[in-house]
Chain A
Amino acid sequence: MSTSLLQRSPEGGREFDPYFVPDDWARLQYGRLLWRSARTRERLLAHWSDPRHPYAERFLARYRPLVERLLESEEADNERLDAELRAEGHSLRTIMREIPPVFGDFY
């Protein structure tokens, strides 16, 4: 694993990582899990596209393809994805943060 990813992910050297946000990693881990089923995938997409969702506008306008790319990947892909995203001006961490949360009152 590259040193740069180690510094940014909790997979190693976590105590030195000021950017570790458990909620971001939870949205990635469980988003990937629920993405496997067409039913829950559609439900998430409908929720994230709902005009009441605070992320909806930027999700639909900009981040949907990148978020989908993350959710279609697996944990073992993290390092490769991070490198690819960095080459495109993003990073695993910044796109992970664009996975919209779920709001229980209209999910």
Chain B
Amino acid sequence: MVLTTPFHPRLAELNTAELWGHWSGHLSATQYTTAPKHEYFGVRNAVGLFDASPLYKYAISGRDAERLLGGIFARDIRTCRPGRAQYTLWCDDRGFVLEDGVVFRRSANDFLLTAAEPNLSFLQNQTGSLDVTIDEVSRQFAVLAVQGKRARAALASLVPEVEELRYFGHAPTKIAGTAVTVSRTGFSGDLGFELMVPADDALAVFDAVWDAGLGHQMRPFGDIALDILRIEAGLPLIGREFTSSRYAFNDHDRFTPDELGLGWLLKGIEDETRPYVGRRALLAERAARASRWSTVGIVVDWAAYDALYYDAGLLPPKDGPAAAWETMLYDESGARAGYATSYVYSPLLQAHIGIARVRPELAAAGTRVAVEQTVNHAYTIVPATVTTLPFFNPERKTSMT
């Protein structure tokens, strides 16, 4: 039986489209209205709410908690001070990514990890003789993401801490009398916050947030809008940009952080004082320049795209959710260049964009590629340009004002 999240009673009332998908065994709104693109605009121009409660959550504590996570995570957890959070990932011994997640450091020996997939026995199996306790707390907390241009303004009266929170900072606060953790995190690539709320008090907190949003055009947004947002932000999604190496059948479905464009997480990899799973393989990959792929953005030539359809007597489609399949890319000689893992029309860029994997020699911004497109039931191609990620990175995302 599919479950509902603690916020569901309120979100169900707001879901006039009555369209729900499933996320980790929970109902999760595909869209709340008949036009998910407007939910997207709601975030970029006002403020949106997203229910991220189905995330898996693990409390990791103990004298050796930092040592454990330091030995697993590719990103150096030692640089994450209490009150800070990190986007991180972890690899297998061959340097292939297992999963990513966000880890919150609550105190020296006390962490909370959120991830898309269950990880309890994986983490416990890594502990060995370390003094560390790992608790599954997924259902104890609901997560409400408050994302978008006016997120700070909407929350300011209710949660004064948001005025002081730096990007990826978090702080304890109280909403409607309930102890809540507010963090400046999210998956929209915009200014935004996430509220981690005890599940039992979720509705009272939701109501307070909703009231605070009055006058700010606050609205909930669903999975389709989130997908456009996160693709513009260049954020990888498990199941799209990568799958866990542990469940891959061969190396075609395994990727290293460098291949995923996440090499920046490996800062300090030369530091011999922190051995971690996959480090040697990742160093070897760099030394041998052995990466098979580079992850880049692609922006489709809008004029060519439009011409393709108008010349065929059609209107160029620019709506709809991100493509559900990989989209093939070719280089100028017609040879396979790689593929877009996420491909969608960006209302802000006024063009189709994609997160793509290309052969490393094609990774330079400005490189021309061709995107496979079906027009009149036949394959054709449309030109596109390689760019750096993210596509959209507003100053407000990280600024203090």
Question: Do A and B come from the same complex?
Answer: no
Chain B residues near A (Cβ < 8 Å): none
